[in-house]
A and B are shown apart, each in its own frame.
Chain A
């Protein structure tokens, strides 16, 4: 219960989630707007860095983009308006989560396809196996022979 207590304690003091390279002078006075800016910054790539969001990066470009995001938020733009603006300016490369489009269909549906395909293959295999077993060993009426009953009982007995 110690963990639970410390969780509760920590939660009551919850202010913001972790984040990184934002400079003191960038932080917006309105905490709600700042939180929005932070979470949007995490979705945007610093284009001159290796796999870093503008929120993580120390690069000057990232700082410019962070300021830009905050500027537009102060002017009342919505998140999607800001994202559209950045994509129009820098291309899709700026998005860390690519939009669903013809050229990203494989990316987005690849992993679920593995899951669905795998599940389907498993189902198919189980059905084929059970059909094979039924046709091969079961008598016409679907009942087990005494010998099979005994074998089944043995099989089902826990080890």
Chain B
């Protein structure tokens, strides 16, 4: 098992910069997600770690070894791709054992490792079956088996669940995380699906246009997004972003949101008169008759436990609230809104960065 260190990693394709001076460390045993929209550089980063792309500049260390210019085959890693490429003419056992047999490993050892991998993945009963008749989930388990049987230093996974339908993805997310907990192997996992990242990762790096916008635990990224991009990318529905003009200073506990005073976590930052954005998660919006921030109910979407209510505020902002499913709301209702003061975020619209508040100070103190 090993730590992966990325130092000033940079990759350009002609004039296009795919990855910009990236620096991060994947701790030994970490489940690390590179998360972002398509084209953000997450797959390129992963492919450089694997040795499938060479960086334009920078270094990659696997354990203590500099592997930047080593061939993929000389790096002790296993790569799991989105589309499970199995050998259709071989049975499950032959598919899983292939990487070992091609290394010339002794037969007894191959058998032992394959059976151990199959047990870990709970597919022992399928070992002598042809792969052609397997369900997509079982095929994915076989593909994983082929990766874990090598007992590599780390796993690299490129959207391995992307091709599965939603229900199955949820199940496989749980299995992948449980597998990680059993093996304890360092894993770098690429996805564009924030829910996958939130549910599996110890650490998430949110990427945008070749840059890491934020690196932290799922909870940090959700509760204290470092930028407007992260705030908008994480959460379903994402954070409500309400623009307003104003200025704030150290120690302020209120902002004026288009004429309405809103209590916020104590601000530990300064921003002169300019364009600001108040960030409110949908579950931190409540409906109250006497709320000064007025809105009209546009639509309510039932989700079982909760409902998502789409609102059009009097100041022209659109927002969404997550409310208990038994709260009665009707399209057209005029309502007042209240926000959960202790949970709000503030951003500078120009730079897109979050303003520091009491929440950051508390997190730093732990």
Chain A complexes with chain B: no
- B interface list, Cβ under 8 A from A: none
- A interface list, Cβ under 8 A from B: none
